[in-house]
Amino acid sequence: MDIELSQQKPWKKWTVISLFVVLVSYAAFALSGKATKSVSTSEFSFQTVESGALDIYTNAYGEFVSAQERLLSAPASGKVSAILVRPGTAVSPDTVILQLFNPKLEQEVSQANGLLAQQQAEQEAFKYEQQNERLSYQGRIADIEADIEKAELELSVNQDLLSLGVSAKIELKRAQLLVKQETKRLQFEQQKFEQFIEMQGFQFTQRDITVKQQMSQVALLEEQLSNMFVKAGITGSLQTLDIELGQSVQLGESLAKVGSNKELIARIRLPQNQADQIDINAPVIIDTQKGTIEAHISRIESVVTSGSVIAEVVLDGELTSNARPALAVSAQVFVKHEDDAIFVKQVPGFRPSSRQSLFVRDGHDLLVQRDVSFGGLSQQKLIVTDGLVLGDEIVSNDTNKYKQYQEISLAD
C-alpha cells in the first residue's frame, strides 16, 4: 500500500510568521509611547515660561475672632432667674444678659448696712463724748489759771505789806509757795490735756478705720448684688451662653462670653514646612469672598497641630461688609522675595509642589512630553523648580487623552 504525504507550502508559513511579527512590533511600538500622533494646533492652548522678580506668598486658611473678648462669670452664688439675651445678639456695655437671684446675699447687704449705720452713730456719739472730755480738761486748766492769778495777787499784796513793815515774812513765803504749787499743777494738767488730745486722735483713727472697713464691705456686697444683673461690659455680640434658666451657679462660674464685632483679628493655619520661613509683621492679604483686607502677622505659635501652625493676624485695612467673628477666610502670607524666579501662570491641572508630565513645544511643529517640577503658588503664579527654562512654550489645556504619546506632531 502506497502512503502519500502532503507537503506544506512554505509561503503560507512565512506569511503567518510575518503577520505575527508585524502585530507584535506594532503593539510594542504603541505601548512604548514612542508613537507620534498628528493633531491640529487649534486643539492646544499655550503659555510661555516667564522670569522676573516675584514676591512669594503661601496660602493659609482660618477664621476671624474677636480682638476683645469678655468672660462673664457669676459675681456670687445664685440661681438663674431670667435670661434676656441669646447668642448672636448685638449688645452694648450696659446690656443685661441675664439675672441671678440670691436671697442670702440680699440679707447680707441689709445686715451690713445696719451694722454700718450703728458704727456711724457710735462714732458720732464718741465725738460728742470726747468733746465733753476736752471741755472738762479746759475747764480745769482755766480754774488753775484763775487760782494762779489769785495767788500771784496775794503774793504781790504781801510783798507791798512787807515793804511797809506790816506783813510778816512767813506770809510772804506762804504766798510764794502757793504760786509755785499752782503753776506746777497747771503744767501737769496741760500735759494731761495734750496726752488726752493725742490719745483721742488715735481713738478717732481707729474708729474711722472700722467704719471705712464696714463701708468697703457694704460697697462690695452691694456691687455683688448689682452684678447679679449680669451686663455685657463691651460693645459686640453675645457669643456663648453656658447656663440655662433655673440653673444654680457658684461664685466665679462661667456664664457667657461676649466678643467685639468691629474689632477683629484673624487666626490662620500656616503650613508646618513654611512656618519657620515667615517673619513676625509679614504682610498678609485676607480674602473674605466680599473683598480683601490688608493685614500683618503679629504672633506665631510654636505648637504644631495636624501639620500646621496657628498664627495671629492683625487687620490693617477696613473690614468688608460680611466680616464677623467665626467667618472662615483664606489668606495669602508673604514668605520671601525672589529677584529672578521662573514661573508660569497657574491653570487647572497645574498643581503646586508636584512633578508632572507636560507637553513642551519643540520647534514649530512638534510637542514633546517632558517631566516638570513645580514649587509653590504665589498670587496665581506657579514657580518652576525643574524641567523648564525661560521662553519655553507649554500646553496649558487638558492633554490627558494624548498621554500615551511621547511626541505630538502639530498640523495646521
User: What are the sequence ranges of the domains in the chain?
Assistant: 33-49+346-412, 55-67+263-337, 75-100+228-259, 103-226
Alpha-carbon distance of 297 to 307, in angstroms, equals 19
Residue 99 confidence (pLDDT): 93
Percentage of the chain exceeding pLDDT 70: 87
DSSP 293: E
Order across the sheet with 96-101: list the strands: 229-231, 96-101, 78-83, 248-249
Q: How confident is the model at residue 5 (pLDDT cuts 50, 70, 90)?
A: very low
Q: Which residue in the block uniquely carries the three cell numbers 483679628?
A: 265
For 163-195, how does the pLDDT look when each residue is reduced to its tens digit (9 = 90+)?
666 556 776 677 677 777 777 887 887 788 788
Residue 2 confidence (pLDDT): 45
Q: How confident is the model at residue 31 (pLDDT cuts 50, 70, 90)?
A: very low
Q: Which CATH class is domain 33-49+346-412?
A: mainly beta
List Cβ<8 Å contacts ≥24 apart for 253-257: 253/73, 253/74, 254/71, 254/72, 254/73, 255/72, 255/73, 255/74, 255/97, 255/98, 255/230, 256/71, 256/72, 256/97, 256/98, 256/230, 257/69, 257/70, 257/71, 257/72
Instruction: Quote the pTM value.
Output: 0.57
Could you tell me the three cell numbers for 54? 516675584
Question: Which residues 6+ apart lie within 8 Å of 170 measured at CB?
Answer: none
Q: Which CATH class is domain 55-67+263-337?
A: mainly beta
Q: What is the mean pLDDT of residues 199-219?
A: 86
Alpha-carbon distance of 28 to 370, in angstroms, equals 21
Residue 33 confidence (pLDDT): 46
Q: How confident is the model at residue 280 (pLDDT cuts 50, 70, 90)?
A: very high
| Best CA proximity match to 355, nearest among 379, 377, 374, 334 | 374
Could you tell me the three cell numbers for 185? 499743777
CATH number of the structural domain 75-100+228-259:
2.40.50.100
Query: Please, what is the average pLDDT of the chain?
Result: 83
